[in-house]
Homo-oligomer: A and B are copies of this chain.
């Protein structure tokens, strides 16, 4: 079978939206919807219909002109493109407030990212159990990563420990990192890093908040996604 294994390059902006479409399509499928137009999907995703069509066109031509897209098939194609046809175990570094919240957040495992382990450098935290997962010492990272074939690490440590956490993850063989600490990490080029920074998000909101500086606003309705 000469499989159409896509070696196409999909634009970053599109990759960032595919998960949103995927969630919406999955929900709609559960509600019994089995066909959808780009217009409808655009409305639910809070974006422009042309963008939806162009985004989906990078996956291939999976729509039917005059009809729309078959929801189940599109779900399958997006999942395949994103690499979600298998589970991706993650390891969480840092068993503080945030690490606990993340480990306890069920939606993680449900969405195909089972928590393969939680580690911390503080011997005082090692051994305690978070949401069914026992906290282990950071020295055990390499064995966890190898045993469970983990390639994604989540950094949930305080800022000062984050670079150290990254170094441990990289040394253990992790190749993708989701960083919650507000610091710029230095890692090998081959390692992909994404950052989630609360303070940055709030400060951006702040900028707009300050800019409106007391004007009154017409109240029209629209949809919003990041």
The answer to whether A204 and B194 touch (CB under 8 A), given A189-B218, A223-B184, is yes
Shortest CB-to-CB span from A21 to chain B, Å, is: 11
One of B46, B90, B187 near A221 (C-beta < 8 A) = B187
Contact in complex: A82, B151 (CB < 8 Å): no
Residues of B within 8 A of A82 (CB): 203, 206-207, 210
B101 touching A188, Cβ below 8 Å? no
Are B19 and A105 neighbours in the complex by a CB distance under 8 Å?
A: no
Q: How far is the CA of A187 from the CA of B219 in the complex (A)?
A: 9
Interface status of A54 (Cβ within 8 A of chain B): no
Q: How many chain copies?
A: 2
A11 smallest CB distance to B (angstroms): 12
* Interface size, A (range): 35 or more
Given A81-B207, A185-B223, A188-B217, residue A98 in contact with residue B88 (CB < 8 A): no
Decide if A4 is an interface residue (CB 8 Å cutoff). Answer: no
Return A52 CB to nearest CB of chain B, in Å: 13
In contact, A207 and B46 (Cβ under 8 angstroms): no
Q: Which of B45, B83, B184, B206 contacts A152 (CB 8 A)?
A: B206
